[in-house]
Structure 1
Amino acid sequence: MTIRKKLAALAVSGMMMATCLSASIPAIQTSLTAAAADDNNDDWLHAEGSKLYDSQGNQVWLTGANWFGMNCTENFPHGLWSADVDELLSSVADHGINIIRFPVSTELLLSWKNGNPLTPVGLNAANGKDYSFNPDFCDANGNTMDSEGIFDVILKKMKKYGIKALIDVHSPASHNSGHNYNLWFYQDGAADADNMAVGFYSKEKITYDDWIESTAWLAEKYKNDDTVIAYDLKNEPHGKRGYSGSSCPTDMAKWDDSTDQNNWAYAATECGNAILDKNPNALILIEGVEQYPKTDKGYTYDTADIWQAPADQSPWYGAWWGGNLRGVKDYPIDFGSADRNSQIVYSPHDYGPSVYNQTWFDKDFTTQTLLDDYWYDTWAYINDQDIATLLVGEWGGHMDGGKNQKWMTLLRDYMIDNHINHTFWCLNPNSGDTGGLLDSSFKVWDDDKYNLFEPSLWQTQESGKYISLDHQTPLGVNGTGISLSEYYSKYADSEGSNINGGTKGNTPGGTKPVQTGTTETGTTTETKPDTVVGDITKDGKVDASDLVILLQYLCGNTVDSKGKDFKAGDVNGDGVLNGMDLALYRQVLSKAISGFPE
């Protein structure tokens, strides 16, 4: 994890490097709570147990929505055929969404990587042809940009409004139904007519290596732009024994300890490490699969002949596509080091009965029955037992006034109560299974659905200010949003937010609600060490290493911030890191004074 602060420091930084123990260092301020210029390198996140933190050790909460279209034949986010991107994104930010999950296809990424970006289909910007909006999508000649250029413009707009991006590799092929294909690559022989129904629409084969290399290329492209903070390696890996008459699991996503390319645990480890090789700061989202064997009874994916037995007799547990994370208990993802593993976020998908009437909806269900029948052992145990961080990548549905709306409310409240990150499906009104937050114009919000969704957005406890994941830029333009630094300087101690049960400050605090599943019961209490004044390196003592780190930080050098507590460097307690802090370090280390002021 790296951060960089740029100072308007004249020639003082050179003087500081040469005379770091001088008593008369000018007070060049790098605020802990207010903003210098956004330098694209200070908003990276990492996980500690079930929660996410910024580089300064502050908790954050990712609460966003999906916006699809770049995964489809149009090759750009839907709705930009009728809505201005600037107006749409400013409205999204004003409504409190701090991150957008963008589905893309490997076919699209390969076109960018190979220097021949796919052309937007159905989008003509303000070039005198069809429409008179989105002039930012025009190149120097007045023609509509290609798909890569358009996305780069979108990211700049998101930065302007304090929104972060999550890239979701949704499908191998650029097609509206490409996600129906089970895997993240096309098996040998998959490009035949029999596979058209499950999402094979690419003219060229998409290989396993194509998927990894194109995603890693994207991470390299955006490694210095902290607008893109996370990568979802593959949307909804799925498949189970019995599909298309198959008796062999090679065409399904599984989760075990093999090195088979259709073993999602193995493939996700390879792809995640490839991304972290390019950008060690990126969050890596790993979804589940559809089917997991009852390993506690000795069954494996190779168990033959009985995979189509009734659910009460079969050797497997079912789930939503991408929703089954039981394998984490048996085969957790391991990227090879503690630093890399701190970037792992598991990402189940969960839906209600309007998408499919699962067995757990066949009763007067409650939060407890959903935990008992499905949630806990499938994914919620990961959060409850503090194994890793969760982000529910898709949830949502139609406002039916009945069971589906009830399920949405229960899941919403469960995620709030347990500080689970999430991205709602979706902004788009043209999702047949769920509908969207916007109407067909992509300009007007569905008030009823938004009002259900809105309590799950990260916001201050009393004033309802929506909180950005950007240290400098507040969400939106209408005053409903604040920056991350502003939250921790002005609101965290005075009113707190709607995470950790409303606990004020940056203390995780409290005990999670008791959660019971079919096999698990327990409570979890997490504590985080308090800041020790002067101990930036968190090694239990204050010495020259803390002074050197502070000096590098103030001089704008790249600093490894993982495991560091920069708040501890504010030894005079004025809310900024500056030369006065360095002077106090000098006095303490030279024993001119006995300690830092209280």
Structure 2
Amino acid sequence: MKKLTRSVAALVSAATMALTGAAPCLSQTMMTACAVDTNNDDWLHAKGSRLYDMNGNEVWLTGANWFGFNCTECSPHYLWSGDIDDMVKDIADHGVNVLRLPVSTELLYNWMVGDPDPVGSINPNDDPSYPFNVDLIKSDGSVVNSMELFDILLAKCKKYGVKCFIDIHSPESNNSGHNYGLWYGKSFTGRDGKKVEVTTDVWIETLAWCADHYKGDDTLIGFDLKNEPHSKYGGAPVDAIWDDSDAPNNWKKAAQDCADAILAKNPHALILIEGVEGFEGHGAWWGGNLRGVAKYPVMPASGTSQIVYSPHDYGPVVSDQTWFNKDFTEKTLLDDYWYDTWAYLVDKDMYPLLIGEWGGRLDGGKNEKWLGLLRDYMIKNHINHTFWCLNDDSGDTGGLWKDIQFGVTQGADGKMVGKTTINWDTEKYETYYYPAIWKTSTSKKFIGLDHQVALGKDGISLNDFYANYAASEGSNLDGGKKSDGKTVDADPAKTTTATTSKTTTSSSAAATTTTTSAEIASNRLYGDSNCDGQVDLADAVLIMQALANPNKYGLKGTDDHHITDEGSANADVEGNGNGITTNDAQAIQMYLLGKYKSLPVK
């Protein structure tokens, strides 16, 4: 079925890169996380029609879409109106435990070849002192590129307990690119001026590269391979089909080949596969028709444990359909459309479903009735979902946000302090979205998907839910059924000990060292606190863990994850010789941001 075009505002957004720390908290904006899960243990898998964590605990993905990376702005929309840290925090505080982030193949291609797209200004006043996304600007005052922006968004999501997956919304960066129904057949001009044809091979290559690049960060838990495969509407040369052929437009084969390539790089990633528009004479919403799975399921070489099918479903305000032309009920919707199109996959316990897009404007009538029926059906049947969408510049649906404002006040110390205020559509959120967010039954605490980090200010982590709530009150799934679960122990970045002739002495339980200038090794990798041969965020995290919990992580720790003598010497990068402090963790992050050219700090 044809869906109305979603227009988006052609505005300029922000780009950024920042890092987060671990307890205890530091004052700098880029180091405000009190606990960051660096364990890489939050990957999910499927069994039957449900999703589980590594210990077999059931999870429920209840999220929303935030588009813009797929557009010519190469940035989530409304970063021009709000601070990214404030916005992600507010998203988490409202119970969104996963974000679906539309991107384009063009965007990933430019990342892959090392020439990411730029994004526009993020400071509406063109004033470096204006407290708006200040941690998203490089030391020279320039805005970082689209890949750096994506990295900071992942870091912010990790900080507040939100997971993400990307969706290939279109072959080229295009604000209306969703109208084109195939994953190949478009071209774009590369940043070097050369024309790049998006073939099936290029589409697969970029996704496999992305899976490999981010396989060490379980904030990015999966990949929606192609948004809404559909008919020739929108300029495609042929319809997307679903069968067992080798035809180039066979979506089932393309999805299987792409899944194989991604899982070869990251076997833990979820693979989300949408349907098509038509199958054997039966029509559906774009991306909504999964009738073909019954005859021709996608079967990756490694098995189907990572496969999630992801139809889209909309109401009559987007486009009226025959199944709405009656006094429809849940039963009539199932009989007329839902069951044979996608609901059978869960009813028969075959595969998990994630409704990748649902939503729409409030009309006081049929569209709201449909919203309520789908909401309740997803809750009753444990169907994952991501609401379309957060930002309100989707032409035919609107969003959960009405507007975003940024204000500035003067603090007691005389410095200017900024704050983002997001005006949510209260009726849409509270009536249709909030009931379908995963939360505890009686205390109504939002449940995150990160084992260690709580979801927003009033939410809880997955460990907290299974340790303290699952057996006592349960959640809003399965009628409040109570269950047992097994928590996942924190497992910080592992360390290895390098052999050296240098000696260090521990001066306190808080992991401090004394090093003379004569003892500085010429081949020392300063900043490498975990001795893994590279300097990255994990090194700053380990320093903070050692300072916060020296018995576990410090020089006198009792397990295999403590900081070593060699690691402590590497970590002493600020005020060299005074032992490791929070300033060393800050200096490493400043170095990674490009604000320091080398370590140690001179």
TM-score, reference length from structure 1: 0.70
Distance 1:269 1:399, change over 3 A: same
Matches within 5 A, 1:173-572: 173-186=172-185, 204-239=196-231, 251-293=238-280, 316-338=281-303, 341-441=304-404, 443-451=422-430, 452-477=432-457, 480-506=458-484
Task: Give the C-alpha shift of residue 207 in structure 1.
Answer: 1.5
Secondary structure of residue in 2 paired with 1:92: helix
Task: Give the C-alpha shift of residue 43 in structure 1.
Answer: 0.3
Counterpart Cα distance in 2 of 1:73 and 1:279: 29
Task: Give the C-alpha shift of residue 140 in structure 1.
Answer: 2.7
Distance 1:40 1:234, change over 3 A: farther
Distance 1:237 1:365, change over 3 A: same
Q: Structure 1, residues 211-266: CA drift from partner, whole Å, max 9, x if none?
A: 111111111111000000010000000006xx69x9xx961110000112210000
Distance 1:203 1:351, change over 3 A: farther
Distance 1:368 1:374, change over 3 A: same
Q: Quick check: 1:125–1:135 contact (8 Å CA) kept in 2? A: no
Task: Give the C-alpha shift of residue 555 in structure 1.
Answer: 11
Segments of 5+ residues of structure 1 without an aligned counterpart are 1-34, 192-201, 294-315, 508-530, 532-549, 559-578, 581-598
Task: Give the C-alpha shift of residue 506 in structure 1.
Answer: 4.2
- Which structure's relative contact order is higher, taking Cα pairs within 8 Å and 6+ residues apart? 1
Partner of 2:154: 155
Distance 1:227 1:167, change over 3 A: same
Counterpart Cα distance in 2 of 1:129 and 1:47: 47
Letter in 2 for 1:467: I
Counterpart Cα distance in 2 of 1:85 and 1:235: 25
Q: Quick check: 2:35–2:453 contact (8 Å CA) kept in 1? A: no
Counterpart Cα distance in 2 of 1:52 and 1:267: 24
Distance 1:127 1:225, change over 3 A: farther
Partner of 2:529: none
Secondary structure of residue in 1 paired with 2:353: strand
Counterpart Cα distance in 1 of 2:470 and 2:131: 44
Partner of 2:527: none
Q: Structure 1, residues 157-208: CA drift from partner, whole Å, max 9, x if none?
A: 0000000001101000101001111100116xx89xxxxxxxxxx9642121
Task: Give the C-alpha shift of residue 404 in structure 1.
Answer: 0.3
Partner of 2:588: none
Counterpart Cα distance in 1 of 2:463 and 2:428: 30
Partner of 2:116: 117
Q: Structure 1, residues 364-410: CA drift from partner, whole Å, max 9, x if none?
A: 10000000000000000000001101000000000111000010000
Counterpart Cα distance in 1 of 2:183 and 2:134: 35
Counterpart Cα distance in 2 of 1:412 and 1:405: 10
Partner of 1:563: none
Distance 1:554 1:226, change over 3 A: closer
Distance 1:145 1:557, change over 3 A: closer
Counterpart Cα distance in 1 of 2:128 and 2:330: 53
Secondary structure of residue in 1 paired with 2:423: coil
Letter in 1 for 2:103: V
Counterpart Cα distance in 1 of 2:329 and 2:142: 54
Secondary structure of residue in 1 paired with 2:272: strand
Distance 1:554 1:70, change over 3 A: closer
Counterpart Cα distance in 1 of 2:464 and 2:331: 37
Q: Structure 1, residues 467-507: CA drift from partner, whole Å, max 9, x if none?
A: 00000000112xx2000000000000000001122110149
Q: Quick check: 1:106–1:211 contact (8 Å CA) kept in 2? A: yes
Distance 1:234 1:554, change over 3 A: closer
Secondary structure of residue in 2 paired with 1:485: helix
Q: Quick check: 2:183–2:226 contact (8 Å CA) kept in 1? A: yes
Q: Structure 1, residues 105-149: CA drift from partner, whole Å, max 9, x if none?
A: 001111111111111135448863796411121123221001111
Q: Quick check: 2:36–2:158 contact (8 Å CA) kept in 1? A: no
Q: Quick check: 1:127–1:138 contact (8 Å CA) kept in 2? A: no
Counterpart Cα distance in 1 of 2:493 and 2:402: 49
Q: Structure 1, residues 456-477: CA drift from partner, whole Å, max 9, x if none?
A: 0000000000000000000112
Q: Quick check: 2:223–2:271 contact (8 Å CA) kept in 1? A: yes
Matches within 5 A, 1:6-21: none
Distance 1:112 1:364, change over 3 A: same
Partner of 2:540: none
Secondary structure of residue in 1 paired with 2:197: coil
Q: Quick check: 1:125–1:132 contact (8 Å CA) kept in 2? A: no
Partner of 1:168: 167
Counterpart Cα distance in 2 of 1:326 and 1:122: 45
Partner of 1:312: none
Distance 1:455 1:209, change over 3 A: same
Secondary structure of residue in 2 paired with 1:466: coil
Secondary structure of residue in 1 paired with 2:222: strand
Letter in 1 for 2:98: I
Q: Quick check: 1:124–1:144 contact (8 Å CA) kept in 2? A: no
Counterpart Cα distance in 2 of 1:161 and 1:390: 25
Distance 1:206 1:122, change over 3 A: farther
Counterpart Cα distance in 1 of 2:493 and 2:163: 27
Counterpart Cα distance in 2 of 1:105 and 1:49: 31
Segments of 5+ residues of structure 2 without an aligned counterpart are 1-33, 189-193, 406-421, 497-557, 560-602
Partner of 1:64: 63
Distance 1:122 1:204, change over 3 A: farther
Task: Give the C-alpha shift of residue 40 in structure 1.
Answer: 3.9
Partner of 1:41: 40
Q: Quick check: 2:38–2:493 contact (8 Å CA) kept in 1? A: no
Task: Give the C-alpha shift of residue 554 in structure 1.
Answer: 11
Q: Quick check: 2:391–2:401 contact (8 Å CA) kept in 1? A: yes
Task: Give the C-alpha shift of residue 60 in structure 1.
Answer: 0.3
Counterpart Cα distance in 2 of 1:37 and 1:72: 30
Secondary structure of residue in 1 paired with 2:342: helix
